[in-house]
Structures are given as structure tokens and as C-alpha cells.
Structure 1
């Protein structure tokens, strides 16, 4: 997707005005946080921003990021920018930055010493292009988890699994008890996300990076990745009766004991908290599917489109400051289920699952994820392939892997 078409038309309208009066301002913030847990978390940002005398104007877009991002991009490139907008860490806003449509935050980042506060450093690097900083990382979200319903396994008369292999082995008992073994929303990003979580868990970060970072077609077509597609086939069979669309609906199946488990990022924790469930008692979390306890330091960041309104420019800077304040980092991330980007905040109130994530982070067992390593175009090809694979039982794991390797060979 290229935006050069709009450059000339927008050159005058997006010039950044450096003057910044101290008046209070309404600031529209777009994001895709609409589930119960997400709404509770984003309310913490709104509360902290409103406390400055400004006003958070919520621009939530229902659906996933795949639904929201084209709307956000269209508004920015079409000359109707919001005050601030969510993207994931990585390359999703790369072309918007290259087209000069996003505000440079380098001066603020330097003044507030973000480089000393933000941990790990890759989070700020993902906001940096040509030496300039264009976004505020607000959390560390990791995809590499499976969430298990203790009730579902008790009803099935089998122990709660400690890893993916035990989970697969327990599937017949879950089905016999009337449970759906694996809750999985019928959306492409969830299905391709499940594949990638399986890959990181089964073959480990080194092979994962050979595929997605080095774009090694031979590895993608090889025996190690064949194991991953075999596991994806198991997941497809276990999720065949998971008749929901949205990720939080799948999480609800686990919360209600209708499903044994869900492969989903740690944002699922917010839903368990809203439901009043307790980690370790009502549900179990397995980082790295219990096979390979690493986490990818992806997550969410906020970008600020260039505007020619000095009041909005000042409010943008205030919001960037507020989002990284210690108090806001704690309040937001405790409800979001994510980890803070600051390494100097007090998280004694963290639940057992968040503590597992913090321990993994402290041990340095982190890895890059696809948002950082492949372009949105390649991501869409992956999504399309996995959507077809999960909905078409006649596509064999071997056929899917062959097509996957072809995508990797041409990936950018």
C-alpha cells in the first residue's frame, strides 16, 4: 500500500506547528480496544489524560486491528487525521512515517530520556526510523500463551495440561465431556497467530527467526516447520466446533468452562480479570505453550499525525508524556494484562500470569515477532493462507507448508 499519491495534496494541511499554547484541548484518539478488559484498560489512559485538563475523545473502532488499521490509514492519508492513533510495534505505520504524515517525537523523547526508561530497548527501536522517534510504546504484549480452563479439565476428569502435547492428548476427554478442546475465533489474524505461536514453541526462536527474519525458504519448507504444520492440523481439528468470530468470545468460552483452552496473547488476561477469575485457581496460563518459555516483545504504540493546530500539537505532547508516566503505566497494564514498557515501576499487584511474563522478561528470554520482521503485505498473505487452511479440511499440512514456503521466499 503506497501513499505517495496523497503527498502533494496534503503538504500544506499536515505541516507541524511548533508553537504550543497551554490551553485545554479535545483530542480524538483512535484504537481497536473494545472488549471488556480492553475498555477497562483504555479508560485508565483517558482518566490520566483528562486529569491534565484536556479531554480524551474516544475513537474506538469495533473489530480487530485488521479492521481498524485501514480506517485509520485512510483518514490520515485522506487529510482527516485524528489526534493520536494506535498501531502495533513494528512496521505497520512505516509508510505513513516515510510519507511525512507522522509527528517526530525525538525532542520529547530526548528531554524525558525515554531511552533510559523503556525496556527492552527494541521497543523504542521499533518506533525509530532514520534516527528519529515517531511513536510512544505503551506496553509489551506477547502472543506466546495458552489459557486453560481449570473447570473444563475437572469436568473432563483429566489433569490440567502442563504443555501443548498434553493438551492435544486431553482433547478426546474434553470432547467426551461436551467441551470444545480449543477455542479459536474464525478470523484470519487469530489463525495465523496460532500458527506462529506453535512455531515459536515447537521449533524455538532460532528457527522462527530463520524463517521470518532471514526469509529462508529452505527452512520454511523443511522438516522442523513440517512439525509446526502438523501441530496446526491438530489445532484445526480441536477447534472445529469453535463457532465464534472474535477473540474475546473465544476467551469467554474458556472462562465459562465451555472450552479447554485458547492460544491467544496476554491481552486475554484482561477478560479473565473482568470476569473475576483468579490466575492459578480458575485458569492456568502456559507461556510458550509450556514448551519454550520465551515471549516476543511486541505490543502497542501510539503515533501522532502531523497537524497544523497548535492546541492539538500541545495536547499530543501531553498525552505522550502521560502514557509513559509511572502511575499510568501501572494502572493501564494491570488491567490490560500486558507488561509495562518502563522497567522502574512497582508491579507487586501483578497476578500469577503477569509475574510469569515479568520473570521471562527479566531473564532476557525475548524474541522478535512478525510485526517487526515482515511487511503488512506479507502478513496479509499469511493471514489468507491460514484462514483457508483452518476452514478447508481438504488442504493438507504438506500443501499448506509448501504455500507457506513460497510466501516466505517472496517476503519483504
Structure 2
């Protein structure tokens, strides 16, 4: 059977007299409180089939986990299933013939008829074949606010970026950090991208990241986003935490007034017993351009030479797309389901906002769907440097960004 690490051979356990139960290692980077609660829904649903979810969580973030996952797959030690984001992150693995074709399972489950928007399934498709299961829609276009922080300084809860940034001096004077930002490289890039979409507009974002429009990247519309990023840099001084969920916790506990972060932050608020619309507020598109970015997570299944593992992989793919699993997982995760035919009556105030925006069709693609991993790494490196070195002006950063865009593949 070869080296399969924690991916164990079949466990002899009769199911209905004929089927076998199989341990399946699933690697992912969901380790925060809210994420763990969500992934437990996948594990519970898969275990109910008689198989066994073997959790392969890798602490850190996607940037930490992906190289480990890729190394194992290319090194002949594949897991049973692994998380990647929607987009081009697994493209080379697919092209190398290392990932399983799921087209037959997708056809059986009519995925093309139920996945919305269709771009989610397009991101799993190469040369007409489907290689992954999209499991959620995660949008980074959100500002999360602690309502009590603004009450303490005698200000109404902001309704847009301008009101929020204008409140920074009062918040700072009261000892409240205006903006929490963790030190993981992708967090500063996320903040910039959200500012870009909100202040320069969705069309400008798509032209730059999708169309590689270097002229737009160097132009006056993008200058607004870079000036706002400089303001955000000032607002986040003293945000000495590493992980995104630690920054979210600063907002939950009132140490910080707000955070620009994806809708996965909702899971942390829920675990903390916070109520959307009462304890905290959420502003999609920073209250300026309300859009949903169709990023999120997908699961790929490395090819393995073991029929029992292959059968368990197929079972997990079906379970992840099942309506009941989609609802249970996404309610805990704070994300939106990829199926357009499920009932989310239990959605909270913030999730309802997201569903409404999605229903209107106000969607944009995620950076991972538009740019290569190498190009996005260069963008990440730029914004890490920008947020940590105040000698770099907004103008300097914009010029460097435009150069990255001009050379992007």
C-alpha cells in the first residue's frame, strides 16, 4: 500500500454486512475555536457513514500549512483529503496528475446545478474535469466592530469606513486600539484588498488583480486605497498579536474597537457568546461597496493506490456537499454555503447580510482565483513591509505594487 503517514489501512468493521470502515486523514489549518467547532461538523457527518475522520490539523495559517501539505503529496506520503482555498493553489498538483478527478461524483450529485455562484465550481475545474469540493463561500470584505467600545467614547457605532477612521483619535485617547491587525503576512494584504474594493470599487479591484492592469494600479483610484492603508497602519499601532483570531479576540474583549477580517471571524464571536447586532456589528464592504468575495475553502483528494481509501474519499466528497452538512458546517464557520438550495433560517444578523448581498449577485472573485500564488506572495511581502515600516509612504508602496501587477502572470 506504500507510505501513507497517518492515512491508515482499512479498519475491519462491518457496515450493513458488506462495507468496510476506513480511517481517512484530513489535513487543514482550522485550529481556532470557531474553526474547530465547524470542522467538527464535517467529522461528525463523515463518521456517521461508518468511516473515521482522522484530524490532521496544522497550526498556523494557510501559508504555514500549504507547503507541508504539498511536500507530503509530492513526496509520496499523501493524506486522504486536504484543504486548499478556491483558486489556483493546487493547480500544479492537478497538472502533475497527483489529484483525484471527482467529475463522476460531481455528476452524480448534480453539483453544477446546485453550486452558486458557478465560479466556485469553475475554480475546481481544469480541462473540463472537477478536482475539488468547494465547501463554503468566505468573503474577506468585512469590518467587525465592538459596539461597547464606541459607547464608551460617546460615539455611535460607525456605519462606514470614514466614520470609523474618524473615531480613531477618541478611541486612542480612551486606551482602546482602533484597529486590530495580526502579524501573519496575509492579514495586512487582506486589509489593503478590502480597502481597495471599498474605496476604489469592485471594478478597479477586478481590473488590477484579474486584468493585471498596471496603469490602474498606479492611478488615482488606487491611490485612495493606499492612503487609507496608511491610515489603517496608524490605527493599528500597538496591535501586538500574531494570529488573526487573537486580533478578533481583542475586538471581542473590547481591547480593540474593530478588525478588518473575513466572515470566518463570526465563528469566534459565536464561541464567545456574542450576539450579532447587539454586542458587535459587521459592515460588509466597510459600509461603502457591499459585495461578497467568492473565496473560501475547497477539499482535494490525492490519488492513492488503495481501493478502500478511494472509497472513503468518495464518501467524504459526497458528505461535504450534502445539504445538511452544508448548513451545519457553515452556521458554525460563519461562511455561506456553496449550495443555493439550502435553508439557512438560523442565520444570524451578519450572515443574513451576506446572503442578501449574494442573492443580489454583488460578487467578486477572490485574489486566489485571479492571481498566481507566486504573485500573491510578492503582494503579501510588500504589505508586511509597508505596515511594519512607516518610512514607506503610500506613494512608494503604490509604485511597487504597480510593478508587481505589471509583471504578474
Q: What band does the TM-score fall into relative to the shorter chain?
A: over 0.9
Q: 1:335-350 residue pairs with structure 2 within 5 A?
A: 335-350=332-347
Partner residue, 1:296: 293
SS of 1:210's partner is helix
Shift in Å, 1:357 = 0.2
Separation in structure 2 between the aligned mates of residue 369 and residue 340 of structure 1, nearest angstrom:
16
Shift in Å, 1:273 = 0.1
Partner residue, 2:359: 362
Shift in Å, 1:117 = 1.1
Partner residue, 1:410: 407
Matched, 1:384 2:381: yes
Q: 1:175-214 residue pairs with structure 2 within 5 A?
A: 175-214=172-211
Instruction: List per-residue Cα deviations over 1:6-50 (Å, max 9, x = no partner).
Output: xxxx9xxxxxxxxxx831100000000000000000000000000
SS of 2:269's partner is helix
Given candidates 157, 167, 170, the residue that maps to 2:167 is 170
Instruction: List per-residue Cα deviations over 1:243-279 (Å, max 9, x = no partner).
Output: 1010000000000011110000000000000000000
Partner residue, 1:74: 71
SS of 1:289's partner is helix
CA contact (8 A) 1:251 1:262 kept: yes
SS of 1:200's partner is helix
Given candidates 220, 225, 234, the residue that maps to 1:223 is 220
CA contact (8 A) 1:22 1:311 kept: no
Partner residue, 1:37: 34
Deviation beyond 6 Å, 4+ runs, structure 1:
none
Separation in structure 2 between the aligned mates of residue 206 and residue 396 of structure 1, nearest angstrom:
25
Instruction: List per-residue Cα deviations over 1:63-96 (Å, max 9, x = no partner).
Output: 0100000000000000000000000000000000
CA contact (8 A) 1:248 1:268 kept: yes
Separation in structure 1 between the aligned mates of residue 171 and residue 148 of structure 2, nearest angstrom:
11
Matched, 1:140 2:140: no
CA contact (8 A) 1:339 1:354 kept: yes
CA contact (8 A) 1:382 1:407 kept: yes
Separation in structure 2 between the aligned mates of residue 112 and residue 159 of structure 1, nearest angstrom:
48
SS of 1:23's partner is strand
SS of 1:24's partner is strand
Matched, 1:55 2:52: yes
Separation in structure 2 between the aligned mates of residue 168 and residue 242 of structure 1, nearest angstrom:
16
Separation in structure 2 between the aligned mates of residue 202 and residue 369 of structure 1, nearest angstrom:
17
Separation in structure 1 between the aligned mates of residue 88 and residue 323 of structure 2, nearest angstrom:
27
- Greater shift, 21-30 or 251-260, is seen at 21-30
Given candidates 96, 108, 131, the residue that maps to 1:99 is 96
Given candidates 273, 276, 283, the residue that maps to 1:286 is 283
Separation in structure 2 between the aligned mates of residue 323 and residue 209 of structure 1, nearest angstrom:
30
Matched, 1:111 2:111: no
Q: 1:6-45 residue pairs with structure 2 within 5 A?
A: 22-45=19-42
Separation in structure 2 between the aligned mates of residue 343 and residue 218 of structure 1, nearest angstrom:
37
Matched, 1:246 2:239: no
SS of 1:90's partner is coil
Partner residue, 1:18: none
With structure 2 as the length reference, what TM-score do the two structures score? 0.95
Matched, 1:153 2:156: no
Matched, 1:272 2:232: no
SS of 1:81's partner is coil
Shift in Å, 1:151 = 1.1
The alignment's C-alpha RMSD in Å is 1.1
Runs of 5+ unmatched residues, structure 1 = 1-9, 11-20
Instruction: List per-residue Cα deviations over 1:298-322 (Å, max 9, x = no partner).
Output: 1000000000010000000000000
Separation in structure 2 between the aligned mates of residue 235 and residue 376 of structure 1, nearest angstrom:
25
With structure 1 as the length reference, what TM-score do the two structures score? 0.95
Separation in structure 2 between the aligned mates of residue 248 and residue 156 of structure 1, nearest angstrom:
25
CA contact (8 A) 1:22 1:314 kept: no
- Greater shift, 150-159 or 95-104, is seen at 150-159
Partner residue, 1:13: none
Separation in structure 1 between the aligned mates of residue 105 and residue 111 of structure 2, nearest angstrom:
9
Instruction: List per-residue Cα deviations over 1:106-146 (Å, max 9, x = no partner).
Output: 01111111001111111100000000000000000000000
Shift in Å, 1:377 = 0.2
Separation in structure 2 between the aligned mates of residue 115 and residue 354 of structure 1, nearest angstrom:
24
CA contact (8 A) 1:148 1:260 kept: yes
SS of 1:382's partner is helix
Matched, 1:313 2:310: yes
CA contact (8 A) 1:40 1:335 kept: yes
Shift in Å, 1:171 = 0.3
Separation in structure 2 between the aligned mates of residue 112 and residue 403 of structure 1, nearest angstrom:
46
